[in-house]
Structure 1
Amino acid sequence: MTTATEPQVGSSISVSVLEHLQEPFQQHIIPNNNIGPIFEVDNIDERSDPGFEDGDYRSITASLNRAIQEYRQINGRSYHNYDGAYYWAPNDDTQNEYLDMAHHMMCLAYDNQLFLAPLENPQRVLDVGCGTGIWCLDFAEQFPGAQVTGTDISPIQPRWVSPNCRFEIDNCELEWTFAENEFDYIHIGSLIGSIQDWPKLYKEIIRALKPGGWFEQREVALPVRANEGELPEDCVYHDWASIFYETGEATGRTWRITEQWKGWLRDAGFTEKIHTHQVKLPIGGWPKNKLQKEIGLFNLLSIETGLEGFATYICKMVLGWHDAEIQLLLERMRAAVKNPQLHAYFPLKSVWTQKPYA
């Protein structure tokens, strides 16, 4: 059984704040290869109390206790208090607003589809790391005959939900207590940088899937890329990616999951075809295409909402940065996301595959 541990605070920074943030992390930068066709650019100037239903959830942490709801406070932000679990983002209202906006943006990017796997009348569905529960609620509405279960380490989901949707408090990194061959479809979204042992998790997933059942995962990947060519060498987006890569090395929770998931899924027993897909999430309204512009504006709004939550725990508690260093990084990022001349985007990547029938 793998038990997650809290990352330790790093040593103090020896260089000045300005030098620390403006010096490129060249050793971590990977080629900024473009994804898909070049978007046509629009010639514009942008300046711009929760609970859960009763029942036997067959989960080792199904019972809520007061300690879980007494969140940790770091720099005025609240974080989960599930013993032994790890997640780097806050669970307060501001970050939850970001999660819901990001969900809407991803649905737009995938033509309003909640999934890409070829599902046919799924009956038992599991969303691992469900966050606010918005994906579960939308899926339950689309498939009223399915029983949808969402698990998370924070009880931030709504109290009143449709009869075919429920939520459980659970740490997916522990050994699962779901029955073998229980689910028709298992979904993961936005767990990048949070799992210590992905091969172990994928083995739990294939065990819990019915023969012929589908697994799908969707992640916003690093690094930020440029629509045409490369980002400038001094662009803060290079530093941003390097910070998260360094955090993954320090915590043992990789931020490069999309580069490795196919091999790990094969090793877990997913021997059927592994499908992948990727699209661009523009940052800002620079695309000329109306839909891409809308996606970009939602992306910009969601980034501005969640930006402080992205950096606070990682930079302060994992890398040991001072508050002034974090604030300078955030100011550089705020300027970059509002810069329409960069034509920047995040890659949104998905993988889906089927459990063999044999």
Structure 2
Amino acid sequence: MSSNIGNAPVPADPSAAIEADPASPAAAEPAAPPVDDVGSDSDSSLGTDQSSTVSLRSSVMRYREENGRTYHAYKDGAYLMPNDEPENDRLDLQHHLFLLTLGGDRLHLAPFSEENPPKRVLDVGTGTGIWACDVGDRYPGAEVIGVDLSPIQPPFAPSNVQFQIDDVEEVPWTYGRKFDFVYSRMMTGGIADFPKLFRQAFENLEAGGWMEVTDITPVTSDDGTLTEETSLWKWADMLLKGTEAVGRSFDGAKLYKRQMEEAGFVNVREVVYKWPQNRWPKDPHYKELGEFALRGLSVSVLTVDLGMWTLEDISSGLEGLSAAVYTRVLGWSKESLDVLLAHVRNDMKNPAIHAYWPM
């Protein structure tokens, strides 16, 4: 796991260097338009606005169905992972894998705490909203906004948490006021232009605010046991080529540190973790992570030991991670993909292959 955290520099004279907050209101609460006294023209404009709103709502709620899975329809194709119940279950399981990776109940590496809480938090690509809800519970005085292309968040959330359907790649951001914490997790392959994202985050952070980005890079091994002859290596190589073909490389996280610094962040620190592919490590902690990471890219089970969690996470999301790239981008048939994935799952469970996912 590659976690990159950096903060916006604090100028010597903040009052002279910090720009005023944007005048535009938050996207969730658009300001009422000025009243026009011209009756017929006003009615005509109102009808156009209503039609536009209904059309947007329809596109947000309508899903694309493909290969037995559903995908977001709003900004169709911008994100290659499904948004159906199996994927949502995997995302929630993956959240626990992140907690386990960071030591149990730690939600982030940025230097916030209950004694020093953030005031305004943006969760980029919130997914099911599980991280945003946990942050809202942890910091009840903070305002937390989670944004995503899919409306898959829970109907009930902490009172200080709100969700918005939005595309963070559209600029400028219209969230009204600046944040002191911007968080993004597992958005590799979902963002076309990370440098632009980092610039937008920087421009929308208070001086001294923090951004934290956590992402995965392709599976590898240190001892050569993941060879080019394995189905796991072939699958990952084709997946990388497919995501690169649509401008959303699965291997972009290694560039985040430099890109954040170029956007203006200072004190940028990169922390790399390893998610073992299965229970091959001797260390009990990594065994547990590996089990759940494997299951998370096949089926949800309760288990206890980091290789176990990695196995769970990667296995359950394997089809979802592969289907759109292989069939939509690379032109494979669903049947050919199913055959490949059967061999990939066998490799994932093989303790003789000492593979891991750099995070």
Residue in 2 aligned with 1:57?
Answer: 28
Residue in 1 aligned with 2:140?
Answer: 144
Matches of 1:59 and 1:312 in 2, distance apart?
A: 38
The Cα shift of 1:144 comes to 1.2
Q: How does 1:108-187 map to 2 (within 5 A)?
A: 108-112=100-104, 113-119=106-112, 120-178=116-174, 182-187=178-183
Indicate if the aligned counterparts of 1:58 and 1:177 stay in contact, CA closer than 8 A: no
Residue of 197, 204, 207 corresponding to 2:203: 207
Residue in 2 aligned with 1:313?
Answer: 324
Matches of 1:263 and 1:181 in 2, distance apart?
A: 27
Matches of 2:294 and 2:244 in 1, distance apart?
A: 28
Indicate if the aligned counterparts of 2:225 and 2:353 stay in contact, CA closer than 8 A: no
Are residues 1:259 and 2:257 paired?
no
- Going from structure 1 to structure 2, the CA distance change for 1:99 and 1:266 (only over 3 Å counts) comes to same
Indicate if the aligned counterparts of 1:87 and 1:194 stay in contact, CA closer than 8 A: yes
Matches of 1:337 and 1:94 in 2, distance apart?
A: 20
Are residues 1:297 and 2:291 paired?
yes
The Cα shift of 1:229 comes to 4.0
The Cα shift of 1:248 comes to 2.6
Post-superposition Cα deviations, 1:286-332, rounded to whole Å, max 9, x if no partner, equal 23322222212211221211111111111000111122221121111
Are residues 1:286 and 2:280 paired?
yes
The Cα shift of 1:234 comes to 0.6
- Going from structure 1 to structure 2, the CA distance change for 1:303 and 1:62 (only over 3 Å counts) comes to farther
Q: What secondary structure, in the 3-state scheme, does the structure 1 residue paired with 2:273 have?
A: strand
Are residues 1:188 and 2:188 paired?
no
The Cα shift of 1:226 comes to 2.3
Q: Gaps spanning 5+ residues in structure 1: where?
A: 1-34, 36-54, 349-358
Larger radius of gyration: 2
The Cα shift of 1:186 comes to 0.2
Matches of 2:53 and 2:159 in 1, distance apart?
A: 18
Matches of 1:84 and 1:340 in 2, distance apart?
A: 39
Q: What secondary structure, in the 3-state scheme, does the structure 2 residue paired with 1:273 have?
A: strand
Matches of 1:142 and 1:106 in 2, distance apart?
A: 16
Aligned residues: 293
Post-superposition Cα deviations, 1:120-178, rounded to whole Å, max 9, x if no partner, equal 31010000001111111111111111111100000000001110111100011111333
Q: How does 1:12-51 map to 2 (within 5 A)?
A: none
Indicate if the aligned counterparts of 1:59 and 1:170 stay in contact, CA closer than 8 A: no
Indicate if the aligned counterparts of 2:88 and 2:128 stay in contact, CA closer than 8 A: yes
- Going from structure 1 to structure 2, the CA distance change for 1:85 and 1:213 (only over 3 Å counts) comes to farther
Indicate if the aligned counterparts of 1:126 and 1:183 stay in contact, CA closer than 8 A: yes
Are residues 1:89 and 2:81 paired?
yes
TM-score (norm 1): 0.77
Q: How does 1:238-253 map to 2 (within 5 A)?
A: 238-253=233-248
Matches of 1:58 and 1:175 in 2, distance apart?
A: 18
RMSD: 2.3
Structure with the larger RCO, 1 or 2 (CA within 8 Å, 6+ apart): 1
Indicate if the aligned counterparts of 2:192 and 2:247 stay in contact, CA closer than 8 A: yes
Are residues 1:277 and 2:288 paired?
no
Post-superposition Cα deviations, 1:157-209, rounded to whole Å, max 9, x if no partner, equal 00011101111000111113335761010000011012111111111110111
Moved over 6 A (4+): 59-64
Indicate if the aligned counterparts of 1:180 and 1:207 stay in contact, CA closer than 8 A: no
Matches of 2:175 and 2:323 in 1, distance apart?
A: 38
Matches of 2:121 and 2:212 in 1, distance apart?
A: 11
Matches of 1:298 and 1:58 in 2, distance apart?
A: 40
Matches of 1:234 and 1:59 in 2, distance apart?
A: 55
Residue in 1 aligned with 2:229?
Answer: 234
Amino acid at match of 2:163: F
The Cα shift of 1:230 comes to 4.1
Q: Pick the structure with more helix per residue.
A: 2
Residue in 1 aligned with 2:49?
Answer: none
Q: What secondary structure, in the 3-state scheme, does the structure 1 residue paired with 2:240 have?
A: helix
Matches of 1:311 and 1:336 in 2, distance apart?
A: 16
Indicate if the aligned counterparts of 1:180 and 1:209 stay in contact, CA closer than 8 A: no
